[in-house]
Amino acid sequence: MSDTLTMVGRCVRLSTRNIEAMMTALFLPVMLLLLFVYLFGGAIDTGTKYVTYVVPGVILLCAGWSSATTAVTVSQDMQGGIIDRFRSMDIGGVSVLSGHVAASIARNAASTVLVLGVALLVGFRPDAGPLAWLGAVGILLSFVLAITWLAAAIGLLAKTPEAASGFTFFVAFLPYPSSAFVPIDTMPGWLQGFARHQPVTPVTETVRGLLLDLPVGNNAWWALAWCGGIAAMSVILSAVLFQRRIR
């Protein structure tokens, strides 16, 4: 446990000192929000103000982007000599990776607060009580946890940091064919089936429902099941892959 805390300290420190990654993590989300609201939003009819519709999607999209950073830093760690040292000190893989995951959660928390702040400035008016806020934060947190652990596993699997970054592209792309940016009914029929049954849609619907005081239905359970499943699978995969590196 104390190893894990030390690793968290390490990764948060490394993260705040990686200026480029930090800038990207903080300002890309704001840029995307403004892009969607002012450039695309006018042409998209969602029945509400577009900013109201799109905020959860932007947060999820950025979580996807941010997971690339995790995959790359994990992969860089595995290439450098430091992992050999950690391993020869008998530090477990889950401790090492937990550090990266915690740093990612910290980055996402910062960018989410920033996005919400800017969204409020440009007309986002959530209608949620404290419990609903708590629920929304919980769902977002479990989504970030799930895709960050997935990214960590990808970082272990990839031979180079570049490859790791490439793999996470798919994760980062997932919010587009979902209900995050446009209503699913407007998509071609063959895409609707995928869009309705992929993890980003129930997460988006739950967060949107909670923030706007709309009915959430079964989406919350689907969201939690997806996130829990992805996280559990990724943690197990990471532990195995980390051990495997001792060939």
Query: Which residues inside 1-30 make contact with another protein, applying CB under 8 A?
Result: 2-3, 6, 9-10, 13-14, 17-18
Q: 17 or 215, CB closer to another protein?
A: 17
240 binds another protein (CB under 8 A): no
Q: 49 or 87, CB closer to another protein?
A: 87
For the bound state, the minimum distance from the C-beta of residue 96 to another protein, rounded and expressed in Å, comes to 10
Q: 10 or 49, CB closer to another protein?
A: 10
CA atoms within 13 A on the CB side of 242: 24
Long-range contacts, 186-189 (Cβ 8 Å, 24+) = none
Q: 56: Cβ–Cβ under 8 A, 6 or more apart, which residues?
A: 180, 203, 204, 207, 208, 211
For the bound state, the minimum distance from the C-beta of residue 86 to another protein, rounded and expressed in Å, comes to 7
- Tokens 């404290």: give the residue: 130
Q: Is 171 exposed, middle or buried (0-12, 13-18, 19+ CB in 10 A)?
A: buried
84 binds another protein (CB under 8 A): yes
- The site string for another protein over 85-114 (x = CB under 8 A, - otherwise) reads xxxxxxx-----------------------
186 binds another protein (CB under 8 A): no
Query: Distance (Å, rounded) from C-alpha 12 to C-alpha 23?
Result: 15
How many residues bind another protein (CB under 8 A)? The answer is: 22
Query: Distance (Å, rounded) from C-alpha 191 to C-alpha 207?
Result: 22
Interaction site with another protein (CB under 8 A): 2-3, 6, 9-10, 13-14, 17-18, 80-82, 84-91, 246-247
